[in-house]
Structure 1
Amino acid sequence: MKGSARPNAQAMPQGTQVCIGLSIMSGILLAVIQPPVSLWFLAYGALIPLLYALEGCSSNHRPFFLGFVTGVVSYLGLIYWVVVAMNTYGGIDIFTSTLILVLFVLYLSLYTGFFAALVSLLETRLSVPVYLSAPILWALLEYLRGVALTGFPWSFLAHSQYTFLSFIQIVSITGTYFISFLIACVNCIIYCMATGKRISRAYAGAVCAVIAICLVYGVDRLKEVDEGNLKTAIVQGNIRQDVKWDEAFKARTVALYCEKTIQAGDDVDLVVWPETAMPFIFDDEPYAREYVKNLSSRVSTNVLFGTIWKDARGRFYNSSYILGRRGEVAGIYNKEHLVPFGEYTPLVAYLPILASLTAQGSGFSSGGVHEPIVTDMGKIGILICYEGVFPYITNETVRRGAQVLVNLTNDAWYERTSAPFQHFAFYIFRAIETDRYVLRSANTGISAIIDPRGRIKEKTPIFEERILKGTFSLRNGLTFYVRHGDFFVLLALISLLVMVSVRCFAILRSRR
C-alpha cells in the first residue's frame, strides 16, 4: 500500500503471548542450567529470550511483568523442594506448604522483574545499551538477593558453571558474582549479534579478552595439585528424617556412627559425622556422651560431629563438637546463620501467626561468631547446613585462621529432589574462593572431599550408608577474595551510577 511504513526485517515480537512465551523460555533455561540437570552451556544464552521479549514491549509496566514471569518459572523449577521439606518432615499441611513455596517464589521473582524493568528503563529513557546495563544489574541484583532479608544466594548464574573449573578459578580473586557478570555479558553479545543491534566492538573484544584471561589463569592454577598429608574418614549415616529424632531410634543412631568410625580404622586424623548426627542435647545424655568420648580415645583420632547444645540460659543451638584424641572436648561451634522458618521464626514477637509457617524442630538461637576450632591438628572452620552457601561466612572463617573447612549438613529433608545437588555445588566455589580443602559430611549425601582448586577427590551418592576416606591438607595463605571480599560488587555499583549520571547529564545538556 502506497505510503505505508516498510516492515523491519528484524522486527521484534510485539504480541503479548509471544513475549510471555519468550519469558517462560528464559525461566526454563535458568532452571535447567543448574544441578542436577546441569546443562551449564545453556547459561550463555539463558537470558536471550527475555531480552528479546523486552525489545517488543509496548507498555511501561510490561518489562517488569515479563521479568517476573521468567522468575516465577525458573524458581518453581529450582526450589519446588520447599514443599517436600515443609510438608513431609516439617509438620506443615500441604496447603500451607504450597502457600509458603508460592510466596517464596513470588518474592524471588521480584529480582528478575526489577532486572527487566531497569534494563528497559535505562535503554528507553537514558539510551543506555542493554549490553552495558544488563550484566551489571544482574550481578547487583544477585548480590542483593544474597543479603536482603537474611539472604538467599541460591542458584546464581555462576553456580551453573561449578564443573567448569578452568573458568571459575578466577573467583579466588573476584568472587562468584564476577562469573555471573561475565555470563550475562556473553548473553548480551550473542543477543545483539543475533538481532542486528549495534554493539561496541571494543566491548565485545574486551569481554572475550577477559574470558580468555580467566581461562589462562584457571588452567595455570589447576596445575597445582595438593594431594594432602592428613587422612580423614567421613561417615554418611543415611538416617531417614522421619526416624532421626525418634527417641526409640536414638541408641541405634549412636551405635551406627560408632561402628562406622571403628570400621574406618585408627589411621585417620579426623573423623567427620554430619549435622545433628547425635540428635539430642549431647551434654544431657551421659551414656551417649561417655560412649562417644571413649570412642574418640579408642581410635585415637579427632571426631567432629553435629549435635544440640543448651546454654545456661536454656537456649538451644545447632552445634558441632570436636573431640580430641584423648576424648576431651577440643571445642564447640554453634551455628550462626540460621534458616528462617526452619530453625527460627523471624518477627514472631510482632506477628505470632508466622509461627504456623515454621517447621517443627525450630527454636534455635544464633551462635554469633564464625570462629574456627583449634585442635592439636590445626584450626578447623565449621559450616553447618547452608552456612557455606554464603561466601562472606567462609571468608570470615578463613580470615580468623581456619586451615580447612568442614561442612556438616542434613539434606534428608529434601528427599531425592534437586536440593542436595544444588547445595553441593556451592562448596566447589567456597573451596576455590578460600584456597581451602572442603570436607563435607551429609547425612544422606552428597558427602565429599573437595581440594582447594574445586576438584572433587571423593564423593558419595545420595541415600546410601558410606564411609568416605581420603586425604586433605591444612593451608594458611589468604586469597585476594578472602582479603578484600566482594569488591567487584562495589565496582559494579559505581560503574552503574557513573553510567546513569553521564547519560542524565548528556540529556540535560541537549535540552538547553
Structure 2
Amino acid sequence: MYKYVIYAIISGLLLAFGWPTQGFPILLFFGFVPLLFAENKISQIKDLKRKGLKIFGLSYLAFIIWNAIGIWWLHYAQEYNADGELQNSWISYLFPVIANSLLMSIVFQLFHWVKFKAGNFYGLLFLPAIWMSFEKFHLNWEMTWPWFNLGNGFSNYHQWIQWYEFTGTFGGTLWILVGNIIVFYFLYAFINTKKTEFRNKLIIYTTLWIAIPIGISYWIYNSYEEKGNEITAMVLQPELNPYTEKYAKDPFQIVDGLIQLTHQNITPEVQFVVAPETAFPGPGPGLNMDKLESDFLLEQFKNNFRNYPQMTFVSGVELMRFYPYEKLATPTATKYGNSDTWVDVTNSAIQFNQKDTIQTYHKSKLVVGVEHFPYMKVLKPLLGDLMLNFGGTVRTHVTQEERSVFRNSFNDAVIAPIICYESIYGEYTTGYVKNGANVLFIMTNDSWWGNTDGHRELLQFGNIRAIETRRDIVRSANSGVSAFINQKGDIISSLGYEKEGALTGKAKLNDKITFYTKHGDYLARIGLLLSGILLGYTIVLQIMNFRKKRN
C-alpha cells in the first residue's frame, strides 16, 4: 500500500504545482494519472478487503495536498482573538481545504464504483461526466466554492483558452480530464505490454491533445478584433486596510478621501469613476436603501462634481433596509444592535450622476461564512453562534434573482456591476450580458489575505469572464490590483497592490453575444445527463447481477 500512497502524493503535488498563479498548467494533464494507477491496481487485487475505503483514503490524500497548497494564502485572513488582537484565521483556511477535498473524494469514489461494477470503458467515460457535474453543483449550492474548478487552471495562460468563448471553463475541465485519461490508458498499456506502439501513441496523442487546442487558441487570439465604441473610465484604489482602516474610519473621512482622490486625477474626458467593493460608508449603518435620493453622503459626491455634469459614479456600497418591528422583518433580517429595529444588509453596487435616478444592484454570490450563513434554518439551531466565534456571520446578506445592469443618459454604456467573488462565476456573469451589458465593471475588496496569491488568482479568474463574454473589464480593487482588461483577457494597464491612486483608461462597448453567453454551461449539463445515465446503468446492472446470483 505504501507505493500507492506515494502515487496519491504525486497526484496531489502535480495538481498543486499546475495551479495558478505560480504553477504551470501542463502538469494538470498528468495530475490524475498516478491516482488512476493506484485505483486501477487496488481494484485488481482479488483478496484485498475494503478496496473502496482504501481508494477513498488515497484520493482524499491527493486532493487535500492540492487544496492545501493551492489556497495556502487563505490563512492570512484575520480574526480577533480573546485579547482583541488580530491573528491569522486557521479555521478560514482549514475548513474549505478539508470540506472541498472530501467532496472531491466522494466524486472519485463514485467513479471507482462505476468503473469497478460496470467496467473500465464506462468508468473512464463516467469520470469527466461526474466531475463536471460536481463542478456545476459547486457553482450553485449554498456552500458554493468553485475556486478549484479545473477550467480555472489556465487563467494565467489566457492565450491558451481563447476558445472559452464557445465552451466556458467547463471546456477546460473536459480538456484536462480527457487528457489525463489518454495518458493513463496508453501509459498503462505500455507498462503492461512493453510494446513501443503504445509508447508512441502515448507521445503522439498526448501531444496532439494538448497542442491542437492551444494552437487554435493562438489563432483566435491573433485574429480577434475588439469590437465596440469606447468609453473613458477612471478606477479608484483608496488602499484602505480592511481590518484596521476600511471599517474603522469615519464615513465622512472615507467619502472625503474618495472625493479628493477623484479630484486629483480626473480629466474632462472621464465618463465614469469606479470605486471598489463597499467603498463606503465604512463603519456603522449602511446607507438606507429606501432613502438614497436624499442621502447626505451621495449628495456630497454630487455637489463636488457639478462641474462634470456628464460624469457617472459607480461604486460598491453597503446598504440597509430598516424595519421598525420584528413582525415586519424578512427572514434574512437581524436585530440592529440593542435597539428594537431590524435590518436587512446588502453588499451592493450603486450608480448615480447629476441627472439619472440612482440605480442599485445587490451582490448575489456571497462568500460562505462571511456574508452568508448557508442553510440557516437547519444549521443555525445546531451551530448557534459557532460561526460567529470563528470570525464568520450569523446572518445572510440580501440577494436578488436577476442580474441588474446600469444604464445612463449620456452614453451607450450598459454596465454589468460585478462584485468581488461573483467574478468567478461564468454562466452567472452571462446573466448581465443577456440583460444588455456591453462592458463589465468589477468592484472588489480582495486584500483580506495580504500581498499573496489570493488577490492575483481572483484577478486572473475574473479575466476569464472577458474571454467568455468578449467584454472589456474595468476593475477597481480596494488595495489592488485595479486594471483595464480587453476582450481577449489582456491586462492593458494596472495599478499595483498596496498603491493608493487612480488609473484612467479606455473600454470598448461590445454588443455581440458569444456562443457561451447564449448557451451557458451546456457541457456541464451534458455531463450531468451522461453521469445520470451511466449511474443508472450501473445500478440496473447490479440489480440484475444480484437476481442472477439469487437464482
Instruction: Please say whether Structure 1 and Structure 2 have the same fold, judged by a TM-score greater than 0.5.
Output: yes
8 Å CA contact 1:295–1:327 kept in 2: the answer is no
Please say if 1:317 is aligned against 2:350. no
Partner of 1:364: 397
Counterpart amino acid of 2:313? V
Task: Give the fraction of aligned pairs with identical amino acids, expressed as a percent.
Answer: 21
8 Å CA contact 2:433–2:517 kept in 1: the answer is yes
Q: CA deviation at 1:334?
A: 1.7
SS in 1 for 2:484: strand
8 Å CA contact 1:36–1:418 kept in 2: the answer is yes
8 Å CA contact 2:18–2:26 kept in 1: the answer is yes
Partner of 1:106: 98
C-alpha distance in 2, partners of 1:160/1:90? 39
- Calculate the TM-score normalised by the size of structure 1: 0.86
* 1:381-411 residue CA offsets vs partner (Å, 9 max, x unmatched): 1111201212232111111111111111101
2:359 maps to which of 304, 326, 331: 331
8 Å CA contact 1:24–1:73 kept in 2: the answer is yes
8 Å CA contact 1:293–1:327 kept in 2: the answer is no
Q: Aligned pairs, how many?
A: 495
Partner of 1:277: 279
C-alpha distance in 1, partners of 2:248/2:479? 20
8 Å CA contact 1:451–1:457 kept in 2: the answer is yes
Report 1:280-319 matches (<5 A): 280=282, 281-282=286-287, 287-300=296-309, 301-313=311-323, 314-319=343-348
Partner of 1:19: 4
Counterpart amino acid of 1:225? E
Report 1:70-85 matches (<5 A): 70-85=62-77
C-alpha distance in 2, partners of 1:60/1:44? 25
Partner of 2:119: 127
C-alpha distance in 1, partners of 2:359/2:451? 34
* 1:27-76 residue CA offsets vs partner (Å, 9 max, x unmatched): 22222322321322211212222222223325231111111111211112
**Structure-2 change in CA distance of 1:295 and 1:282 (3 Å):** farther
Report 1:360-399 matches (<5 A): 364-376=397-409, 377=411, 378-399=413-434
Counterpart amino acid of 1:446? V
* 1:122-151 residue CA offsets vs partner (Å, 9 max, x unmatched): 332221246433333332222222223342
C-alpha distance in 2, partners of 1:91/1:146? 38
Q: Give the stretch that moved more between structures: 274-283 or 216-225.
A: 216-225
**Structure-2 change in CA distance of 1:506 and 1:205 (3 Å):** farther
Q: CA deviation at 1:413?
A: 1.2
Unaligned runs of 5+ in 1: 1-15
Report 1:50-449 matches (<5 A): 50-57=35-42, 58=48, 59-87=51-79, 97-129=89-121, 131-196=124-189, 208=208, 212=212, 215-216=215-216, 219-220=219-220, 222-226=222-226, 229-262=230-263, 263-280=265-282, 281-282=286-287, 287-300=296-309, 301-313=311-323, 314-324=343-353, 326=354, 329-346=357-374, 347=376, 349-351=380-382, 352-353=384-385, 354-359=387-392, 364-376=397-409, 377=411, 378-449=413-484
Q: Give the stretch that moved more between structures: 428-437 or 352-361.
A: 352-361
C-alpha distance in 2, partners of 1:33/1:88? 34
C-alpha distance in 2, partners of 1:213/1:349? 47
C-alpha distance in 1, partners of 2:83/2:524? 39
**Structure-2 change in CA distance of 1:248 and 1:138 (3 Å):** closer
Counterpart amino acid of 2:136? Y
8 Å CA contact 2:20–2:156 kept in 1: the answer is no
8 Å CA contact 2:235–2:504 kept in 1: the answer is yes
8 Å CA contact 1:155–1:422 kept in 2: the answer is no
8 Å CA contact 1:305–1:322 kept in 2: the answer is yes
Unaligned runs of 5+ in 2: 43-47, 193-197, 324-342
